[in-house]
Amino acid sequence: MVSENLKIREMEDGEKSRVLRIARKTIPFFYYLFTKYNLYSSDPIIIVALKKDEIVGASIFDTIEQGNRKIGQIDYIFVDPSIQGEGVGSRLFEKTEEFFISLEVDEIFSDVEGYNSPSWKIHEQKGYSRLRLSEQIKLWGYRTPLIWFLTFYFLALGHNLLWKGLNVEKPERNTNFLEPISIVLIIALIGTLGINGFLNFSIWVLAILVLNILVYEGISWVTGKNLGYKPEFRSWENGITLSLIIGFFGGFAPVYGSTYLSEKGFNHHKNPEVMGKMTAMSILAGLSLTTGFMIASQLTNIQILETATIISLIFYIFQSILIFAPFGVLKGRQLYRWSPKIWFIFMAAGIALTTILIIQ
């Protein structure tokens, strides 16, 4: 195993460019820019893994002082693609935790993308668990938005916080399915105000947004269940801040959450067919909904049906066509990984519907 012959130490002067070179190979460009900014604008702690004096991986992390608490934040752990799966990431993770313990932090957290099954697995093996919004508020109180801002979590679309307490107990969780429902409704409400203007409210627009969410996630969940898996909907609490930003400019985006598979040991990256089928059926349902609204709006003079067509088409474009970061966490990317041809057909359908809507 490569991990047995590794040397791990703090990064030395002049090695940032080598670390960034590996980061560029492994991190989507959008998030790579944040990593590069973090390396040069602040002073994070960086440890590197070396094989035969060549840097093959790195861990970037830092601490946050909040009141009398010291919080450790793991920003990124990445490994050269040529040796991924050989234990380098685990060794870097262990050394990162040891470093945090030496700094006497009270708790550690990391934000992890929902489809990144290997990262979820290693965190769970080390005793981390998802920290939901209600738990964050109980733990950090009014400092929660500040922590989101300091760590850029408010922009980490499709990510959830994984947390481990060293000197702090995890808050008791009293909420259940009501929490993700509440987050989805808040995001839909913000989207409604963004579309209509923050001084106006339309129950019809809210209903159309909620209907689209139910169609996309409901069909995805049912398909996963029929394939013999355990689908799980995870809300994205940072979608609230993203929706506020987008709504300020008069728009909305479906940044409420997504349906994943919660099977123990299931790897989203290694099973593109399963996720591809789930997302294909979901996107097909969204296409049918959009087309139905468009036909109905042409056959009647009901204004809300035209609004429903526009909203559903925007939903469809986000969920099917946009496949690159930061929107690679939406459904289109999973479909593209399974079948670029099917994705192209759905993309062409989206372009056709958009063209029809514009020339009407």
Neighbour-count burial of 44, counting CB atoms closer than 10 A to its CB (0-12 exposed, 13-18 middle, 19+ buried): middle
- Identify whether residues 31 and 68 lie together within a single domain: yes
> Which residue's structure tokens are 């950090």?
140
Whether 122 and 265 map to the same domain: the answer is no
208 and 108, same domain (yes or no)? no
Q: Is the same domain home to 65 and 137?
A: yes
Q: In angstroms, what CA-CA distances link 1 with 86, 91, 331? A: 6, 12, 36
Flag whether 173 is in a domain: no
Q: Which of 94-108, 159-173, 188-202, 309-323 is the least confident region?
A: 188-202
Between CA 342 and CA 336 the distance in angstroms is 8
The domain containing residue 334 runs over which residues?
A: 178-359
Distance from C-alpha of 47 to C-alpha of 272, rounded to nearest angstrom? 33
Per the structure, how many domains does the chain have? 2
What does pTM read for this prediction?
0.88
**Is the domain of 199 the same as that of 141?**
no
pLDDT at 326: 74
Q: Is residue 73 within 8 Å of 106, Cβ to Cβ?
A: no
- According to the model, what pLDDT value does residue 350 have? 93
Question: In the numeric block, which tokens belong to residue 198?
Answer: 């923050």
CA-CA-CA-CA dihedral for 93, 98, 102, 105, to nearest 10: 50
What percent of the chain is predicted at pLDDT more than 90? 53
Residue 280 lies in a domain: yes
Question: Does the pLDDT of residue 226 top 90, yes or no?
Answer: yes
pLDDT at residue 236 greater than cutoff 90: yes
Q: Model confidence over 273-323: pLDDT tens digits? A: 999 999 999 999 999 999 999 999 989 988 889 989 999 999 999 999 887
Distances (CA, A) of 114 to 14, 121, 186, 352: 34, 11, 21, 31
Q: Is the pLDDT of residue 27 over 70?
A: yes
In a domain, 87, yes or no: yes
Q: Is residue 350 part of a domain?
A: yes
Average pLDDT, the chain: 89
Which of 99, 130, 165 marks a domain boundary? 165
In a domain, 72, yes or no: yes
Confidence of residue 197 (pLDDT cuts 50, 70, 90): low
**Is the CB of residue 288 less than 8 Å from the CB of residue 320?**
no
Any domain includes 108: yes
pLDDT at position 189 is 86
Judged against a pLDDT cut of 60, whether residue 213 lies above it is answered with yes
Q: Which residues contact 191 (CB under 8 A, 6 or more apart)?
A: 209, 243, 247, 252, 253
Q: Assess whether pLDDT exceeds 60 at residue 198.
A: no
Q: Do residues 175 and 132 make contact, with C-beta atoms less than 8 angstroms apart? A: yes
Predicted confidence at residue 268, as pLDDT, reads: 86
pLDDT, tens digit, for every residue of 161-176?
999 999 988 888 766 6
Can you give the pLDDT at residue 335?
94
- Residue that terminates a domain, selected from 135, 165, 195: 165
Q: Find out whether 56 and 87 touch, Cβ atoms under 8 Å.
A: no
Q: Are 287 and 346 spatial neighbours (Cβ–Cβ below 8 Å)? A: yes
Q: Are residues 328 and 204 in the same domain?
A: yes
For residue 249, the model assigns a pLDDT of: 81
The neighbour count for residue 225, using CB atoms within 10 Å, is 12
Task: Report yes or no on 172 lying in a domain.
Answer: no
Is 6 a member of any domain? Answer: yes
Among 70-74, 128-132, 174-178, 287-291, the minimum mean pLDDT is found in: 174-178
Per-residue pLDDT for 2 more than 60? Answer: no
